[in-house]
Amino acid sequence: MGASKRNSPVHRYILTGAPGAGKTVLLRALERAGHAVVEEAATDVIALAQAEGVAEPWTDPSFIDAIVALQRQRETRAAGEVVFFDRSPVCALALARFLGHPVSDLLRAELARIAEVYQRRVFLVRGLGFVTPTAARRISLEDALRFEAVHEAAYAELGYELIPIAPGPTAERTAAVLARITEA
């Protein structure tokens, strides 16, 4: 591993999509394929807040900043030549818009900072046609589809290319993602 390997760029890819689309399962498959992965932050922010007695932390606008801060912390620790992220600050922007929260200074600064951090190709993991409720995921299929559209609009507005990953078996979805990163 000479200097050329050490100086090679890190390729950071984002997985985005509606809640319950299968992003986490796809992330686990990419990890099993040998790639570094970074988990989504919102679920962990919700779990901690709920453990502290806040039943619906997403109703407070500061929820978005808590997600952004945890995403940034995880991004900073991510290591690997190819890294896959379950969501990004652009997803936090989509969430703020979906929930009707203002775009904070922290989120605005993070959106400016990441312009050169992530690959411009983003994998839009399409929904599976159903949503399984959890303590953190309390959304109907109809709202999940609306939320997916908000994500698409936010990424397009910021100049990212969305690559749809169709519903299907995990192995097929994983192969579709890996085929697209080798094209770059």
Domain limits of the chain?
Answer: 3-183
Beta carbons within 8 Å of 71's beta carbon, 6+ residues apart: 41, 87, 88, 89, 92, 110
What is the predicted pLDDT for the residue at 106? 97
* CATH architecture of the region 3-183: 3-Layer(aba) Sandwich (3.40)
Adjacent-strand bridge partners of 16 = 124
Instruction: Summarize pLDDT for 30-85 with one digit per residue, the tens.
Output: 999 999 999 999 999 999 999 999 999 999 999 999 999 999 999 999 888 899 99
pLDDT at residue 127, rounded to an integer: 81
Whole-number pLDDT of residue 18? 86
Confidence (pTM): 0.88
Q: What is the pLDDT of residue 3?
A: 37
Output the pLDDT for position 137.
Answer: 64
In eight-state DSSP terms, residue 129 is: S
State the Cα–Cα distance between residues 33 and 63, nearest whole angstrom.
33
pLDDT band at 8 (very low <50, low <70, confident <90, very high): very low
Tens digits of per-residue pLDDT, 131-176?
666 656 677 778 878 888 999 999 999 999 999 999 999 999 999 9
